[in-house]
Amino acid sequence: MKQKNLVKKLEGIASRLSSINDLSALALNIEKILEEIIDVEHTGFYLWSPELKTLKLFYAKGFSEEERIEAEITAMERHPGKVFRERKIISVPNVLEDTEHTSITSKRSFIIKSRLYLPVMNLDECVGAFGLASTKIDSFSKEHIALLSFVCNLTGVIYRNLISANEIRESEEAMRHVSTRLSLATRAGGVGIWDWDVVNNILVWDEQMYRLYGISADQFSGAYDAWRDGLHPEDSQYGDQEIQLALSGEKEFNTEFRVVWKDNSIHHIQGLAKVQRDSSGRPIRMIGTNWDITERKRVSDQLKRSEDNHRIINNFSTSLLGADNVEEIVWNITHNCISELSLEAASIYLFEPDSDWLIMRATHGRGQDKDDQTLDPVRISLGQGLIGTVAATAKELIVPDVTTDAQSIRDGQSGGSKLAVPIIYEKEVIGVITSDHSQKNFFREHHLDIFLVIADLAANKIMRAISLEKTKKSELKYRNIFESIQDVYAEIDYDTGLIIEVSPSIERFSGYAREEVLGQPLNAFYAPPGPTQELTEALGKHGRVNDVEAILVDKLGLHRAVSFTCSIVTDSSEYPFKIVGTMRDIQLRKQAEVALQQSANIKTNFVSNVSHELRTPMASILGFAGTILRDKNMDEETKMDFIRVINEEAHRLTCLIENVLDISRMEAGSYKLTMEPTQLEHIIHEVIENQTVLANKKNIDIQYDIEKDLPLVFGARDAISQMAVNVLSNAIKFTNPGGSIMVGLSLHDGHIVFDVKDSGLGIPPADLTRIFEKFYRVERAKREDVGTGIGLAIVKEIVDQHQGTVRVESTVGKGTIFRVSLPVLIPSSE
Ligand code: ADP
């Protein structure tokens, strides 16, 4: 081939290849060009794959599919690999002489006689290898090699260019893909993108930005101010500041702000941006994103509010810990409404007990906090005004604007808003908590929420305080009763018999202090056997006992009769665990009983004594009179003696009957004496004379000393005589035979003194004070001194009616003196 032809050929090849702009066209062209240069049985054009790190067949001729695969797999081990690595042409003119060569297919190797391998170069980079195999020995001339080399190198360059172009296209494609995806993603995530040319103040927004700001593109001027105008008035200055800080590089732009839409709705936006600067650091561009965080804000605000509420409620209840009366509680709550909830005013109304009136119990705020007192507190009837309505309906209410609320106008509210929440305890409204604010629409749902909780807290606290106050009152009442009762209240442990409670009155009873008694066994304070056993047995049978008597031994060792009234207290399973009851002092009752018994005995004795006293004289009267009647021949003297005895005995009977009648008159209150000036000497003489007969019988000597010309007394003659008989007859009766009696009548200090002194038995000192009592008699060993016990009682009554006195002095075994003194009659001055 001529040189000129060669050049022409090369030019043709170059122009054909350089117009190629895709890889498949390159492969096709190379195949054709190569065929034009040399016609061989097998060609394989390998290109280096950086990803697979091996040579891949780009174009092949004369290969079966199987051979293609094998060729690629073994390429790097055979000549193509060597050529690629060493970037040198390998020519094998006669394969039989080539020791290195290993054919890909042994069955075919026998027909291949010569081979040629060329590196495919892009400038100094090897991008592949080209192999040719011929069935003829020495098939490849120098010219062939030069042409093929040229084609290979040109292909390398074109291939590289095509690959680069492809890569660019692919990356452009990928970019397009990514940006589509990004925009889809930003749209779905609500992210808006903005791009602000700082130098020319051109702000470009994407579609989503308009959506975020609630405007359409035509409403947007495209300058910085347009963004700023969309912000909430309270945030625009802050927004400016953040942008400036980002531009100056002091702070990254990552902030939150609010935008206000045309419909006045407020939307929270999160903004993030990057500042681009020129080589001198001057900001030229700011690219950023915005997305809506309203929902997130709402949730986090709600969370914060609920945390706040928890904190507030916690503070409310903590500060209520010490408050245990209603007054303290209501004031504490109204105070806290101001300090914890930053309200202007708060009041609490509670129902007055058993009425339909609500009364303001506490109000705080607006200067109402002086001394925690509601002077002249407001009273509201059920159903009246906002508070009355809330109380009546048990439903919380917010009045956003009191000027448009009829009820509030009636309540005299001039402006602002109000809130009222019922205070409910166990489904019953006990009051209302209310707050008002000078601003309209101030109260929101969350105020209501927190007020409901506060009302609940207040209800529980107030009711607990009320019941505590009630308990305290009743406790105080019972404590007072407990401490002031005359009887002793006591509680005794059923099992141990120990005293577990006792009222302080025990000290009056026993001299033991309450503390000395507590914890001691009941029986320790009683004379044996003690009341414990009797009480437990009786209570075991009846559950309750009245009047079990016992003898208390007091601290001084003195005995005192007491009586128990007790009952058993059982626990929830009916098991008795204590005895409660009272102990009463029955000492006086006991004494009265004894006295009553004594007086009953005395009366019985009296009746038998009177019968006896009557029977004796009656017997002798009947005896003597019967004898006189039967003995017709009785001598006169004897008869006279008998009649005298009858007379004496009849006289004694009369006296006795007189006395008995008098005593019954005295008991009936009808014993009245008729007084007149009376001379005593004669009466006393007569009595002595009568009694001497009796005295003589006992051989008792009666002496007397009666003054003469004694003044008169104002008295009753018969009564005075009866008095003297009673005294003198006693003296004879209680003086042994042979004894003596001295009777005196004299004047002393304006009194006539009648005294009777005997040498008789005397009266024991213990009886001295009682001998003037009706029916009282001194018990004596001998029965001979039978009497009725009424003589001295009559003496005392008669003396009393004469304004006189009667005294007795006595020494047992020696004698007795009775002294009666009666005032003398003072003659009138006329
Ligand atoms: P009576 O003499 O019928 O028993 P009285 O009332 O006259 O009743 O006397 C009451 C008691 O006073 C008597 O039981 C007696 O024991 C005592 N008494 C009265 N006078 C004397 C006296 N002169 N000496 C001793 N005892 C007397």
Find the helix or strand (DSSP H, E) in which 678 lies.
strand 676-678
Answer yes or no: is pLDDT of 202 > 50.
yes
- For 604-620, the pLDDT digits (tens) are 777 877 888 888 888 88
Q: What integer is the mean pLDDT of 785-799?
A: 87
Which of these ranges, 201-215, 367-381, 518-532, 571-585, has the smallest mean pLDDT?
367-381
Which of these ranges, 1-5, 25-29, 121-125, has the smallest mean pLDDT?
1-5
Amino acid at residue number 764: P
Three-state DSSP class for 293?
Answer: coil
Of 740, 792, 817, 819, the one to substitute when testing ligand 1's pocket (max ligand atoms within 8 A of C-beta) is: 792
Report the share of the chain in percent with pLDDT over 70: 92
- For residue 520, name the pLDDT band (cuts at 50, 70, 90): very high
Cα 777 to averaged position of ligand 1 atoms, centre (Å): 7
Neighbour-count burial of 660, counting CB atoms closer than 10 A to its CB (0-12 exposed, 13-18 middle, 19+ buried)? middle
Higher pLDDT, 444 or 431: 431
Neighbour-count burial of 812, counting CB atoms closer than 10 A to its CB (0-12 exposed, 13-18 middle, 19+ buried)? middle
CA 742/CA 725 separation, integer angstroms:
14
Answer yes or no: is pLDDT of 757 > 90.
yes
Count other C-beta atoms under 10 Å from residue 165's C-beta.
13
Locate the ligand 1 atom nearest the alpha carbon of residue 726 and give its number.
Answer: 7
**φ, ψ (nearest 5 deg) of residue 702:** -105, 120
The predicted pLDDT at position 299 comes to 81
Q: How many CA atoms lie within 13 A of 531 on its CB side?
A: 27
Locate the ligand 1 atom nearest the alpha carbon of residue 790 and give its number.
Answer: 6
Locate the ligand 1 atom nearest the alpha carbon of residue 789 and give its number.
Answer: 8
CA 495/CA 568 separation, integer angstroms:
12
Most confident of 66-75, 176-185, 377-386, 809-818: 809-818
Strand partners, 203: 196
Which of these ranges, 241-250, 297-306, 663-672, 723-732, has the smallest mean pLDDT?
297-306
Q: What integer is the mean pLDDT of 416-424?
A: 92
Most confident of 243-252, 378-387, 411-420: 243-252
Closest residue by Cα to residue 606 from 793, 787, 767: 787
- For residue 670, name the pLDDT band (cuts at 50, 70, 90): confident
- For residue 106, name the pLDDT band (cuts at 50, 70, 90): very low
Cα 615 to averaged position of ligand 1 atoms, centre (Å): 20
Q: What integer is the mean pLDDT of 82-104?
A: 78
Q: DSSP letters along 725-757, please?
A: HHHHHHHHHTS-TT-EEEEEEEEETTEEEEEEE
Considering the entire predicted model, what is its pTM? 0.39
Q: Across all residues in the chain, what is the average pLDDT?
A: 85
Find the helix or strand (DSSP H, E) in which 386 lies.
helix 385-393
Take atom 21 of ligand 1 and give the residue whose Cα is closest. 730
The predicted pLDDT at position 742 comes to 97
- For 344-397, the pLDDT digits (tens) are 889 999 998 888 899 998 888 776 554 555 567 788 888 888 899 999 999 999
CA 275/CA 327 separation, integer angstroms:
64
* Tokens 């009947």, located at residue: 622
* Tokens 């022409």, located at residue: 8
Count other C-beta atoms under 10 Å from residue 569's C-beta.
13
The predicted pLDDT at position 171 comes to 65
The predicted pLDDT at position 601 comes to 79
Strand partners, 54: 49
CA 481/CA 503 separation, integer angstroms:
9
- For residue 180, name the pLDDT band (cuts at 50, 70, 90): low
The predicted pLDDT at position 807 comes to 96
Closest residue by Cα to residue 673 from 758, 775, 797, 555: 797
* Tokens 């009829």, located at residue: 406
Most confident of 7-21, 421-435, 533-547: 421-435
Cα 693 to averaged position of ligand 1 atoms, centre (Å): 19
Which of these ranges, 146-150, 481-485, 487-491, 776-780, has the smallest mean pLDDT?
481-485
Answer yes or no: is pLDDT of 657 > 50.
yes
Closest residue by Cα to residue 466 from 330, 346, 337: 330
Closest residue by Cα to residue 348 from 338, 337, 334: 334
Question: Cis omega before residue 529 (within 30°)?
Answer: yes
Answer yes or no: is pLDDT of 677 > 50.
yes
123's CB contacts (< 8 A; 6+ apart) are 156, 157
Instruction: Look up residue 715 and give its two tokens.
Output: 């008295």
* Tokens 């503390």, located at residue: 515
Take atom 18 of ligand 1 and give the residue whose Cα is closest. 730
The predicted pLDDT at position 531 comes to 86
Answer yes or no: is pLDDT of 564 > 60.
yes
The predicted pLDDT at position 187 comes to 59
In contact, 435 and 418? CB cutoff 8 Å: yes
The predicted pLDDT at position 374 comes to 53
First to last CA, the chain: 212
- For residue 830, name the pLDDT band (cuts at 50, 70, 90): very low
Closest residue by Cα to residue 249 from 280, 227, 224, 222: 280
The predicted pLDDT at position 748 comes to 93
Locate the ligand 1 atom nearest the alpha carbon of residue 735 and give its number.
Answer: 24
Find the helix or strand (DSSP H, E) in which 58 lies.
strand 54-61
Amino acid at residue number 135: T
Give the rounded distance of the alpha carbon of 516 from its chain centre. 36
584's CB contacts (< 8 A; 6+ apart) are 487, 488, 562, 563, 564, 565
CA 643/CA 638 separation, integer angstroms:
9
Q: Ligand 1 — pocket residues by CB below 6 A?
A: 726, 730-731, 734, 758, 760-763, 771, 777-778, 787-793, 816
